[in-house]
Amino acid sequence: MRLAARASWLVPALVLALTSGCEREAAREQAPREQAPLELLDLDGHPRDPLVPDDRADVFVFLRTDCPISNRYAPKLGRIAAQFADAPLDVWLIYVDPDETPSVIREHMQTYALPGVALRDPARGLVARAGATVTPSVAVFDAGGVRRYHGRIDDWYVDYGQARVQASSDELLDAIEAVLAGRPPSVAFAEPVGCPLPPL
């Protein structure tokens, strides 16, 4: 009799505990993951976090001044920036070499007529969040700060020192158009070809 009485309250208690646990787990899955603020530097040495929410999508182009592939993409980057000049989109040039000074970066931007706002990422915080492994590579984040695409600009380069006559795919352009239209890009990653990141 005692066993029957104990079972009568034990089963509901177990059900309640399991249900509460599932609800807590579901709440954790639905809650947005908090990430530490980024600490990049502008060319005046001021800290900047380019992923602070502002209702604008972001394109990050990872560069180093001495990478010939990066430099050959400068005209295309200029065309893309001009094409989306009136869109809710910010273009950022992320210089990944901690030894490149602001004066060297300014000269590089002027020489190659590079568009966008230049930031230095000496701690590689954005490099890690964007998944950048070589230069040039790009990452596209939507207005909510979610990475939607990362990898190559297009398929112009098939290997280091080996380029097609012209690109046959345009992953960066496609990703920008998709994000601005509120839909995920058809491709979330495409392997980039470029110069390795310099050691920290």
pLDDT per position as a tens digit, 101-119: 999 999 999 999 999 999 9
- Is pLDDT above 50 for 9? no
Task: Please report which confidence band the pLDDT of residue 132 belongs to, taking 50, 70 and 90 as the band edges.
Answer: very high
Mean pLDDT for all residues in the chain: 87
Task: State which amino acid sits at residue 57.
Answer: A
The answer to which of 11-15, 79-83, 189-193 has the lowest mean pLDDT is: 11-15
Output the pTM of the full model: 0.83
Q: Residue 94: which of 131, 64, 74 has the closest Cα? A: 64
| CA angle (17 as vertex; 16, 22 as ends), nearest 5 | 100
pLDDT of residue 134: 98
- Is pLDDT above 60 for 166? yes
Q: How far apart are CA 67 and CA 114, in angstroms?
A: 14
Number of H helices, E strands in the chain: 6, 12
Q: Residue 190: which of 144, 126, 131 has the closest Cα? A: 131
Q: Which residue has the tokens 């939607």?
A: 148
Q: How far apart are CA 200 and CA 91, in angstroms?
A: 25
pLDDT of residue 102: 99
What phi and psi values does residue 120 have, to the nearest 5 degrees?
-100, 140
Contact 67, 136 (CB under 8 A): yes
| DSSP secondary structure of 56-75 | -EEEEEEE-TT-HHHHHTHH
pLDDT of residue 200: 80
pLDDT of residue 29: 29
Contacts of 200 by beta carbon, 8 Å cutoff, 6+ apart: 98, 122, 124
Structure confidence by residue, pLDDT tens digits, 20-44: 443 343 333 233 346 788 999 999 9
- Is pLDDT above 90 for 12? no
- Is pLDDT above 60 for 143? yes
- Is pLDDT above 70 for 192? yes
